[in-house]
Chain A
Amino acid sequence: MAHRSPPKKRDWSWRSQAFRGLVFQLVAVAAVTFGLWYLAQNTLANMHARGIKSGFDFLMQPAGFDIGESLIPYDALNPYWKAFLVGILNTLRVAVIGVILATILGTLIGVGRFSRNAIVRGVCYAYVEFFRNIPVLIQLLMWYLIFTDLLPPILEPITVAGVFHLSKAGFSFPVPVWVPGVKLVFAGLVVGVVLAWLYRRWAMRRFEATGRVRSLVLMPMGIVVAAMFAGWLIGGAPTAWSVPKPEGFSMEGGASATPEFLGVLLGLTLYTAAFIAEVVRAGIASVARGQVEASSSLGLPRNFTMRLVILPQALRVIIPPLTSQYLNLTKNSSLAVAIGYPDVVSVATTALNNTGRAVECITIIMAVFLTTSLSTSVFMNWYNRRSAIKER
């Protein structure tokens, strides 16, 4: 413990380092604020001088254009803000599903590079080198070309079992009719997840207290499935399905994934998975060899060694770069406009052209990506702190 002098009274003079630091910081903040204010003022004045209208009031006006696919009910008479919301949800849909799939695939491939099987190792190595070395935009265009060129024409879809249709219009599949009973299934899912989490906590405690190993995977999954089944029974066991049926140029009923969505999702997932695989590999390689040897000498089987000894330690190294990859995937989704997926950039571009509010629309795009990226960061930093080694 270093020697500490007793706390001094605050010294309000240039000789005090603390005071100088404070002054410099205030000056820096003032300079940055003034710079931003100057830029904003200048832009507004110049736009006014050239007779360009500005402001966000257009968000309340009817948008007047249709959007190809939407998660929420949307009509061309809805205001611009709702059109933007549709775009944002489409972006998030690709980002969230993409992050989940890329994590699963990337982890499998990263672990696969340590396989004892030379073929598995080789395939994983080839995958990583192939997908991370081709620009993601080219990959998106490639998948889209494959979908739109190879799939059968819209009027002659491939039909499987009479309910799945695959054509250039996309992949159509049946969905349950949205009756109150179906809501109870989702309620069951939520209850099941909570119960499974409680069970897992209890099982961990019992394990630490008695050393008895309980299933931490099968049992919680069973709980979730059982809860959903219970919800389905309570809801009166609804069995009605909305089945897609070709009707002229479109499909009636069911739900469908368009080639645009599949192209963006596949392109981003496969590209990001290659990077995640490298992150996972680096994480695993960072765990000292002695840890593996120690767990072998304890008699742990190989899969237990991986799950209980290596991965938890590797996670500390993996999470920070993994966060960057999640952010990259979300930001790369803005390339979707190249293949016609109506993400927030696509909607903003249309709005920009109809209203001419370039500065405003670009600001909205930036705000959306900044918000999603910062939220992801905050969550991942929290998770990082949780999985870091507790210094005692």
Chain B
Amino acid sequence: MKSTMLKLSITAVATAAAFAAAPAMAGKTVDAVKARGSLVCGVNTGLAGFSQADSQGAWSGLDVDVCKAIAAALLNDASKVKYVPLTAQQRFTALQSGEIDILSRNTTYTLTRDASLGLHFLPPTYYDGQGFMVPVKSKVKSAKSLKGATVCVQSGTTTEKNLTDYSRANKLDLKPIVFEKQEAATGAYFSGRCVAFTTDASGLASIRNKDAKDPKEHVILPELISKEPLAPAVRRGDDEFEAIAKWVIYGLMEAEEYGITQANVDQMKSSQDPVVMRIVGTSEDTGKLVGLDKEWLVRAVKAVGNYGEMFARNVGEKTPLNLPRGVNNLWNKGGIQYAPPIR
């Protein structure tokens, strides 16, 4: 009885301290998230496979799963995420101003953004490249034969600059028509206003599948004209939260590498492989180092599966998007996804 009272009073004091401290320390994202009881995650307004809300308002996608995994590790509950759909222009301001805790919205990792926007990028969750989509009946087979063509593009992305660079380098004289909203840009393309539509190849696959009347009438050209490492980002000046987010992402990749899946994660707790034991927290307490408990990665994997499962479920070859694993495979399977060891 006495100990219960003691516990209660400690909790009360700690809670009060957390509430009192929260406004004063804007940098303490972890405390703020815990006090709030939910992670606020900035996502795309709608990009099939990456972040999309269904008719019940439930969000799914690769970018969404990143937030779910972090919420599972940090708050013990993958459903405690509040999603804030953001346009390309709104996203950085939303993160800078503290409206969201993490930006997981197919955002390209570039020097300018990393160095001057008051944010830090996390490990890329999808290595992409910018491509072109054209109607099959235009008989265009290569981006090099688009000379003088009008190209529809959404504003507020790195896409416009890549397009200009490619156009100059190949003397194509492409004419960009820039729309504020993705729906407007794709609408103009499907109406035939533009000869081609350009965005990241994953986005092209998503749009072709979701918005085209008949996906077979549109073809994605083979040229990829840029490197687009899509990565989540967090605000600068909060190393604690950055470490948690970063290592949850690495942990999901590491889980794939050592065969820990959503289905077998509980059985894996009896594994005698020392690496697996570290990941599932049966030997060393890796969670303590990032301010969490032993089971942090178990919860993350249980919530969304390992990185390979996330990929397969949202964008992989069995989904309508049918994106090949390609460079997004693990380093030991021919890709470039390489997580530093969890130890």
A interface with B by C-beta (< 8 Å): 47, 49-53, 64-69, 76, 144-145, 148-149, 153-155, 168-169, 247-250, 258-260, 337-340, 342, 346, 349-350, 352-356, 358
User: In the complex, which residue of chain A has the Cβ closest to the Cβ of B236?
Assistant: A51
We find that the number of chain B residues with CB closer than 8 angstroms to chain A is 47
On whether the beta carbons of B164 and A154 are closer than 8 Å, the reply is no
Q: Which of A53, A64, A145, A260 contacts B191 (CB 8 A)?
A: A145
On whether the beta carbons of A354 and B164 are closer than 8 Å, the reply is no
Q: Which residues of B contact A352 (CB under 8 A)?
A: 89, 156
Query: Could you give 21 example pairs across A and B, Cβ below 8 Å?
Result: A47-B118, A51-B236, A65-B160, A65-B164, A66-B163, A68-B150, A68-B176, A76-B164, A144-B188, A148-B192, A155-B138, A247-B148, A249-B147, A249-B150, A346-B180, A349-B180, A352-B156, A353-B156, A355-B112, A356-B113, A356-B117
B235, CB-defined interface residue at 8 Å: yes
User: In the complex, which residue of chain B has the Cβ closest to the Cβ of A345?
Assistant: B180
Q: Which residues of B contact A155 (CB under 8 A)?
A: 138
Binds A, one of B77-85, B166-174, B245-253, B297-305: B166-174
On whether the beta carbons of B168 and A52 are closer than 8 Å, the reply is no
Most B CB atoms within 10 A — which of A66, A69, A168, A250? A66
Given contacts A76-B168, A337-B155, A350-B178, contact A148 B188 (CB under 8 A): yes
Given contacts A250-B173, A349-B89, A349-B155, contact A153 B192 (CB under 8 A): yes
B interface with A by C-beta (< 8 Å): 88-89, 92-93, 96, 112-113, 116-118, 138, 146-150, 152, 155-158, 160-161, 163-165, 167-168, 173-181, 184-185, 188, 191-193, 195, 235-237
Q: Which of B146, B164, B174 contacts A64 (CB 8 A)?
A: B164
Given contacts A168-B193, A340-B188, contact A67 B116 (CB under 8 A): no
Given contacts A148-B188, A356-B117, 14 further A-B contacts (CB under 8 A): A50-B118, A50-B237, A64-B164, A65-B161, A66-B175, A67-B176, A149-B191, A249-B146, A338-B181, A340-B179, A349-B180, A350-B156, A353-B155, A356-B113
On whether the beta carbons of A52 and B116 are closer than 8 Å, the reply is yes
Given contacts A247-B148, A249-B148, contact A66 B164 (CB under 8 A): yes
On whether the beta carbons of B193 and A259 are closer than 8 Å, the reply is yes
Q: Which residues of B contact A342 (CB under 8 A)?
A: 178
Q: Which residues of A contact B176 (CB under 8 A)?
A: 65-68
Q: Which residues of B contact A350 (CB under 8 A)?
A: 155-156, 160, 178
A65 to B154, CA, bound (A): 13
On whether the beta carbons of B116 and A356 are closer than 8 Å, the reply is yes
User: In the complex, which residue of chain A has the Cβ closest to the Cβ of B93?
Assistant: A358
A228 to B168, CA, bound (A): 41
On whether the beta carbons of B156 and A349 are closer than 8 Å, the reply is yes
On whether the beta carbons of B88 and A340 are closer than 8 Å, the reply is no
A66 to B284, CA, bound (A): 55
Nearest CB on B from A52, distance (A)? 4
A247 to B149, CA, bound (A): 10
Q: Which residues of A contact B96 (CB under 8 A)?
A: 50, 52
A50 to B167, CA, bound (A): 36
Nearest CB on B from A138, distance (A)? 13
A388 to B247, CA, bound (A): 74
A356 to B89, CA, bound (A): 9
Given contacts A50-B237, A67-B176, A349-B155, contact A168 B192 (CB under 8 A): yes
A86 to B119, CA, bound (A): 31
On whether the beta carbons of B161 and A354 are closer than 8 Å, the reply is yes
Q: Which residues of A contact B192 (CB under 8 A)?
A: 148, 153-154, 168
